[in-house]
Chain A
């Protein structure tokens, strides 16, 4: 091949790589900062209409309904013998699952130095914090008399209530509190430089005051970066076992009981993988919406990111299928009478269609779509698969909790769970999650510009013989 033609092909190849990969398509930092700030400030009337509708749903569905339930009692909920646990617990497990996405992307991908994570770590971390808030709301709803929540704490008291610190209830309280606090701190630490950037780029007003306070006086000195980076590394490694512990402990709430369908040694990892399945699904939904609706986000969030997350989703779906089958086959083969009745009830009971729908959206659809690079590079296709996975994972929890509770060893108590006030309350928590996320996206720089710039500095085109390849330096 003529040298000119070769050179032209290489130049074309480089150009294509630049268009495809954010890390190879650098812009001046000032310009990137301006784009991030513009994305925060640019708001259309549609945004406020959606926010207003969500605010009404939150006010009525969550706060009013909860107020009514507090006034009238937990009898308004459908939980009753034999299904003492219903949608409140389903939602608690579901939201804790959603919250796993942020840590997975931000911590695990950081530890493994997966470069594609850089532009959307914060978008995922925000989901963790807001998701855990909804999990907290849901468990407090289930508690009924929420004003007595402090009875859980083991302090000397005159009520002669002696909480057992070794009980699974305490494991839950500790694990969820640890995870909520840890993930909020882990969200805040890398946000400090971006808050300082927002402070520097904001002229007066309440925003300036808020950014100034939240940036804590950060300037970017060598010492500040050093301490921040060390802390982020400690968090990245330490939060991973905490993340695993949270959903494992949630699974033990079920597995530690000797009930048909629940008593399983594989529930811990099965729940963790399920959490990652729904969490990654939720991340792509959020990224597709953020990319499609927020200004300048098409530069930061590209097809390559959906392609990479799509691959992860496919692997997680396969792992979930493996754990599901593993859990199923052992229970089925065991031949316990009540377990067999329950398994049959899952598949052929009045809600058996949910069992098949769960398998379809958690396994069949992801496998059918995500193997194809072109499809998994399309934000909306991956976003829809993510949405379906979340529907499937919610159904999975519904099957594990109230449907499984329907069948026990005392057949005269068998009756199907019919939710009551749980439905508006559940919709209210979903609306609150979306509303909080929307409002946060207008106040918090959703893209960590400094992490993107750092990644772009680390990427280079290098010539190996006749070929130009992309190399990544380790700057940390």
Chain B
């Protein structure tokens, strides 16, 4: 079996990049061997890709539940841990409306912290290891990384160039 090689093709526009994705699929590159990096968010449909999975909403929801539980523990649990429960005026020891405020703030706080954390977890941030990257991406280019058999490198390079790739080169992991 031939050795595989990771190639990188850089495109200026979305259309040729989308065509290149189709061509790579036609050349037999499996979907999970194709990676796209871009300087602006491209939704999956633009490049004919399947929906990316994200755990961020689930993590956010988990955070909301956790926040609610922490809030509940504080507003319902703390007063009875005091030697003498605090009573303000004729309010009950656990008054409803103020408890709602505390519950709301803690639910939102931990939900938003979890959402933030979710981005880190799902994206493996921070990660400072060398990675396959091309700095042109932050200048608006679209880069497609794909694996191809080493002996077919020229064929793939020519296919990409024919579709408008500005450059096609061997992708190497380097420090960002």
Q: Using a CB–CB distance below 8 Å, which chain A residues touch chain B? A: 28-30, 33, 154, 156, 160, 162, 164-168, 170-171, 174-175, 177-178, 181-182, 185, 188-189, 193, 196-197, 199-201, 212-213, 215-231, 234-235, 238-239, 241-242, 245, 249, 450, 453-454, 457, 475-476
Q: B138 contacts which of A33, A213, A227 (Cβ < 8 Å)? A: A33
Q: Which residue of B lies closest to A450 (CB)?
A: B40
Contact A165 B79 (CB under 8 A): yes
Residues of A contacting B139 in the complex (Cβ-Cβ under 8 angstroms): 28-30, 33, 197, 200
Q: Indicate the member of B43, B91, B99, B119 with the most A CB atoms within 10 Å.
A: B119
Min CB distance, B118 to chain A, in Å?
A: 6
Identity of the chain A residue whose Cβ is nearest the Cβ of B110 in the assembled complex? A178
Q: A222-B49, A457-B40 are in contact. Are A201 and B138 (CB under 8 A)?
A: yes
Give chain A residues whose Cβ lies under 8 Å from the Cβ of B26.
Answer: none
Q: Which residue of B is nearest A457, CB measured?
A: B40
Contact of B116 among A221, A229, A231, A241 (CB under 8 A): A231
User: What are 15 inter-chain pairs, A to B, with CB distance below 8 A?
Assistant: A162-B83, A166-B75, A166-B88, A166-B91, A178-B112, A201-B138, A222-B35, A222-B38, A223-B123, A224-B123, A229-B41, A234-B56, A235-B112, A245-B108, A450-B39
Is B127 within 8 A of A165, CB to CB? no
Closest residue on chain B to residue A162 by CB atoms: B82
Q: How far is the CA of A189 from the CA of B138 in the complex (A)?
A: 16
Of all chain A residues, which has the CB nearest B112? Answer: A182
Residue from A178, A234, A454 within 8 A of B115 (CB atoms): A234
A221 with B37: CB separation less than 8 A: yes
A154 near B41 with CB under 8 A, answer no
**A221, B34: Cα distance in complex, Å:** 11
- Give Cα distance in the complex from A175 to B103, angstroms: 11
Chain A residues with CB below 8 A from B74, complex form: 154, 165
Tally of chain B residues near chain A (CB < 8 A): 61
| B135 x A200 contact (CB < 8 A) | yes
The residue that B109 contacts in the complex, of A154, A177, A200, A457, with Cβ under 8 A, is A177
CB-defined contacts of A165 to chain B, threshold 8 Å:
74-75, 78-79, 102
- The docked-state distance in angstroms from the alpha carbon of A189 to that of B101 is 27
In the complex, the answer to whether B54 meets A197 with C-beta atoms within 8 Å is no
A212, B140: Cβ atoms under 8 Å?
Answer: no
Is B111 in contact with A200, judged by CB distance below 8 angstroms? no
- Name which residue of chain A comes closest to B129, CB basis: A217
Q: Are B101 and A30 within 8 A (Cβ)?
A: no
B82 touches A217 (CB 8 A): no
The answer on a CB contact under 8 Å between A166 and B102 is yes
Within the assembled complex, what's the spacing in Å between the Cα atoms of A171 and B97?
A: 11
Q: How far is the CA of A436 from the CA of B59 in the complex (A)?
A: 33
CB atoms of B43 and A230 under 8 A apart: no
Q: Is the CB of B131 within 8 A of A219?
A: yes
Pick from A178, A215, A221, A475: contact of B36, CB under 8 Å: A221
Which of A156, A196, A238 contacts B111 (CB under 8 A)? A238
Q: How far is the CA of A171 from the CA of B102 in the complex (A)?
A: 6
Chain A residue at minimal CB-CB distance from B55: A227
- A166 vs B40: C-alpha distance when bound (angstroms): 45
Q: Are B54 and A189 in contact (CB under 8 A)?
A: no
CB-CB under 8 A from A178, the residues of chain B are 105-106, 108-109, 112
B residues in contact with A238, CB < 8 Å: 108, 111-112, 115
Measured between beta carbons, the chain A residues less than 8 angstroms from B42 are: 222, 225
